[in-house]
Structure 1
Amino acid sequence: MNRVIKPLALSALTLALAACSQPEQYPVSQEELKTEEQKQAYALGSSVGRFVGRNLDQQEEAEVMLDRNMVIAGFVDAVKGEVKLNEEEAEKLLNDLRSTVMEQRQNVLGSKAAEQGEAYQAENAKKEGVTVTESGLQYEVLEAGDGTSPAAEDTVEVHYEGTLVNGEVFDSSYERGEPTVFPLNRVIPGWTEGLQLMQEGAKYRFVIPAELAYGEREVGGGQIPPNSTLIFTVELLDVKDQQPAEADATAGDETN
């Protein structure tokens, strides 16, 4: 038995060494950038490369795997004016690819996000101080307020931070350095419901199921995957005075 294993092992080692000795098809450039023109040219190429790289990363997240060397080959051929596909063929192939990626992101990322979100909600609901409403919205009072509570039609001023269940921040008024003002009936249902539970001066933590957030939609260029449970820490700073109905009607006429 050992006599058989040894030749096989030697063959595998030989193949591995041969693969390592082969030069990389598209090695990283070693050329030094000396002149302004060289830097500009390199900046243009690297900008295109970053864009394509981000697209490939998003596709691979959805388990759509393309040969990166072939992508580079297509770029090189196009720059040389020697492409193997005409524009009509390329456009059709890219449209098909986009459809596949969208469907895969929905299936792969959406399934993962739904599973993670449901598990997070189940654990969070067990925490002391967490209340679950009939709709499935979860909230926790971090600081009580003593001011006015908004109605669904009111405009509010808030500070907030939004994260995914893995803790990744996707939006924050704190990072922007200023609060946000918006009509409460023009945001996701979880916000419309949740902020009506608050009083001015209060700070709450909300866990919002996907069906009260963006549902099956992917938002923010992939920042928020489909079926994501969202977590918001929200401070209700002010409930704005409502404009008279006639003034609202006039303003509406001006925008039409």
Structure 2
Amino acid sequence: FLGGDDPAQRLVFAKHLLSASVMAAPGAVVISKILVPQTESVDKTVKIPKERIGNNVLDAISNGATEGLKLAANVAAMLLVFVAFIAMANFILNDLIGHYLGINDWIAAQTSGRYKGLTLQFILGYSLAPLMWLIGVNIHDITLVGSLLGEKVIMTEFVGYISLANYKAAGLFFEYKSIIISTYLLCGFANFASIGIQIGGIGSLAPNQKSQLAAFGFRSLIAGTLSALFSSTIIGMITL
């Protein structure tokens, strides 16, 4: 949907998304090796209890469907909870604090209408703006791109891409290059919801590894975010 109704633009952004996906995988591996250096040999032994496999084909299908349903329900629940959390936080910031203290009108005036009031997007946009400038985003777009990264980390990349499409359609970006960088920046699963999905979803499939997943959850978020930042920086250097 980033390309709108133009088939040519849809193809362009599809290629960018494919490139971002290919670049993200090795980047995440490199960053993870830096954050958690491998000091021991990897145990490649795989042991699956027979009861998890099933006694026959029908039993295996039944077990697989049950495990898949658990994982899907966990993913849906995590997305719902985190999106609801953001909505609640924005209600408190915008409709209560910003409205009654008169901050919303000041923010709208200072940002020329880019932000309608005191929201998490506004706070994250300006907090992450210096980082966006470092990766090559135009200075006029650093707060917008910063808010997109904030949305991705707090919520999911899906919400970030929806906001990116809305900003693009509204013509809020000063430079087209910022849209391309944002496309690469949002590509990945580095968000708080993914940590919950890892612990709850994968943990239900491998209960004995749940503590390990919880221990590395936040570091995986950092690794994924750094990988996206590196990809965005590289594409920003070669995009005119």
So what's the TM-score if we normalise by structure 2?
0.31
Larger Rg: 1
Structure having the larger proportion of residues in strand? 1
More contact order relative to length (CA 8 Å, sep ≥ 6)? 2
So what's the TM-score if we normalise by structure 1?
0.29
Structure having the larger proportion of residues in helix? 2
